[in-house]
Structure 1
């Protein structure tokens, strides 16, 4: 039953965040939101801006496929949604479902990879959503590959205000272990 509810919520968010034009208010003091869902290797978790990322680590199994859904939203319009990963060897997108007209991937070898969606002030949207499948890299000699996934969303801040933003930094470790979230 929980799976059906989650699926319905995801479909609603897809519809809401990919099709809604909005009006930028005069003043916007409410920060945007984000959601990152990850499924694979018997694991299913949704992370949001309300999670305490400083107290958790996500362990991913090497050479394993995961399905993800990443979204950012703000009723006053979203200016930028970003997912920053570690180097190119952390994950490889096996089936990206990128709407390439709105999402871009920028590689900064060997340090980082950024996946971004940029809003348009002249045609504001309430948000954007990205879905796909990635495979974690191989980890030689079971040494582990650690890093941080950085989630970031910024709104326009209204017509005359300062932009609001929200971020979450999730520590990850890719290795030869079961996929799990460790909280400390």
Structure 2
């Protein structure tokens, strides 16, 4: 779900949509309505979200769940087949993914200027969508890329990676079911694999 501006991908866009409508009267509605849980949510571009909700008979619950499972499988495998010859190339690849995540955090994250200056803005919704459509998949790409190229890592790199992996997996779990604690992003990882 990348917006293209002048032929160049600019940023990801997406909206959280219910597989089973929140209201019993909504698209694919059921008695009692659908919950705001990970299992009942799917990320769609705004145009698809509108089209799918306007024609629920054409977009069944089963079809939406199949699409979601397919996308999750793609993300799970992302970057697991990229082999690098040199650690510098791997670190450059990781650094670009980290830079994208960090930029999103700075621009629309909970401590961003827009969130601080206008607490009533839609920054929270944008931040939530970016976590799901960009940050979590990037974290998965980072983990898969490093695990595929583990032989290139020094002992210090491995320690930094394991700290990041612990953070990334707990952070993902935090997005789909609140936990009281998860390990914060480890500074040692950006020191070892950081972006320029």
TM-score (norm 1): 0.27
Structure number with greater CO (CA < 8 Å, separation at least 6) is 1
Q: Which has the larger radius of gyration?
A: 2
Structure with the higher strand share, 1 or 2: 1
